Structure 1
Amino acid sequence: MKTFLFNNKRAIYGGVITFFIITTGVFLLGNISGYEAKNLLEASLSGINMLCNTIVLASATILALLLTLLGISSGTESKLKDGHYLEVLNIAKIDTILFIVTLIMFQLFNIPITESSEVPTGWFSFIYWITLFISSVLSGAMVVVILMLYNTVTNIILIVGLKQDHELIYKEEDLEEQKDKANSSND
């Protein structure tokens, strides 16, 4: 876990900053009554649904593009270290979680709660704040995935496209060390 946090600290910082910017904007609205919250919820649900729809579509596209990235990675002349594949695996894990959570939230946001006469008016304030908080978290998580993907794509461009020496490429001495370990374990 520490390695993941260290390797992806810029992406995580970006997501956290996005979350705080959005939540700060939301909380600047101040305290609202249940009736105001119901009206604001009605007005914001279409935008929140669009956000969820966009995140679901982007997450699915990213998962598909990761397969292309793996094809490029395995087709390169350089032998890539496990760290590269672990980066791709981490992106896939977070992206899949984001996809599932966003899809669930999309379904929950489509419940016509503002049309129900059974929901007490006082609850709308709570529902409104929770809805905005969740959309902030989803936005921040999407930024994390995009920044992690950016880092991985940048590494591939440096390795495959520009053929630069990189920490994710096995060097001659690394390959010899691996062979020695394999031979000593076979003995």
Structure 2
Amino acid sequence: MKEYKKNIRGPLLGGIIAAVVIAGGVFLLGKISNYEAKILIAMSVEGINILCNTIVLASATILGLLLTLLGISSGSGSKLKSQYYYQIVVIAKLITVLFVATLLLFQMLNIPLTQADNVPAHWFPYIYWSTILLSSLLSGTLITAILMLYKTVLGIIWIMGISKKHPLAVNEKENEE
């Protein structure tokens, strides 16, 4: 478990950097008026909807790939440590949360707020910044999950094809105990 926490730092840092860069680019706009926010929301909804669709599709695909990865690893003939399976559980949980959060954002963006007459104008900057922040967090989370999946796949490739001596493989000493 302690070893896994070290392994997750890189992907987590990658996702945080990506989210900050994505959000930072938008925050360079500075302060915007209520009217500008309303226009920016209307303009960005289509792009954020496409992003949400992409993240939902990627999340569902990654969950399917995790099942394939489990099948490959169980048929590999190598004994794997529980840490390997813990990595897969963490990725699956992260992807599931990402899937649900993205669907919720997608549904919220399908409410025609910019065309509603009863939405106070001073809400639009808050709505705009929150959608940008949420889409940045979702993108960063997807990047983190993909980097975690990459490290897990790289580990199984190393174990199956390159060397049986890998931190995730049970070595002969551990096998005897």
Name the counterpart of 1:82: 82
- How far the C-alpha of 1:14 sits from its partner, in A, is 0.2
Instruction: Map 1:93-172 to 2 at 5 A.
Output: 93-172=93-172
Distance 1:175 1:164, change over 3 A: closer
- How far the C-alpha of 1:164 sits from its partner, in A, is 4.2
- How far the C-alpha of 1:25 sits from its partner, in A, is 0.4
TM-score of the pair, normalised by structure 2: 0.96
Name the counterpart of 2:44: 44
Q: Which amino acid aligns with 1:36?
A: E
Q: Which amino acid aligns with 1:149?
A: L
- How far the C-alpha of 1:114 sits from its partner, in A, is 0.8
Q: Which amino acid aligns with 1:109?
A: L
Aligned equivalents of 2:52 and 2:159: distance in 1?
Answer: 35
Q: Which amino acid aligns with 1:71?
A: G
Aligned equivalents of 1:37 and 1:165: distance in 2?
Answer: 56
The CA RMSD over aligned residues, in Å, is 1.3
Larger Rg over CA atoms: 1
- How far the C-alpha of 1:49 sits from its partner, in A, is 0.6
- How far the C-alpha of 1:161 sits from its partner, in A, is 2.3
Q: Which amino acid aligns with 2:82?
A: D
Aligned equivalents of 1:163 and 1:77: distance in 2?
Answer: 13
Q: Percent identity?
A: 54
CA contact (8 A) 2:62 2:95 kept: yes
TM-score of the pair, normalised by structure 1: 0.91
| Aligned partner of residue 8 in structure 1, secondary structure | helix
| Aligned partner of residue 122 in structure 1, secondary structure | helix
Name which of structure 1's ranges 99-108 and 158-167 shifts more when overlaid on structure 2. Answer: 158-167
CA contact (8 A) 2:63 2:92 kept: yes
The structure 1 segments of at least 4 consecutive aligned residues displaced by more than 4 Å after TM superposition are: 1-4
Name the counterpart of 1:184: none
Q: Which amino acid aligns with 1:153?
A: V
Aligned equivalents of 1:128 and 1:5: distance in 2?
Answer: 35
- How far the C-alpha of 1:128 sits from its partner, in A, is 0.4
Aligned equivalents of 1:141 and 1:161: distance in 2?
Answer: 30
Cα displacement string for residues 81-118 of structure 1 (whole angstroms, at most 9, x for unaligned residues) = 11111111110010001001111111011111111000
Name the counterpart of 1:29: 29
Aligned equivalents of 2:2 and 2:136: distance in 1?
Answer: 25
Name which of structure 1's ranges 1-10 and 42-51 shifts more when overlaid on structure 2. Answer: 1-10
Query: Structure 1: where are the runs of 5+ without partners?
Result: 178-187
Cα displacement string for residues 102-150 of structure 1 (whole angstroms, at most 9, x for unaligned residues) = 1111101111111100001111111001110100100110000000000
Q: Does 1:16 align with 2:13?
A: no
Aligned equivalents of 1:56 and 1:151: distance in 2?
Answer: 22
- How far the C-alpha of 1:3 sits from its partner, in A, is 5.7
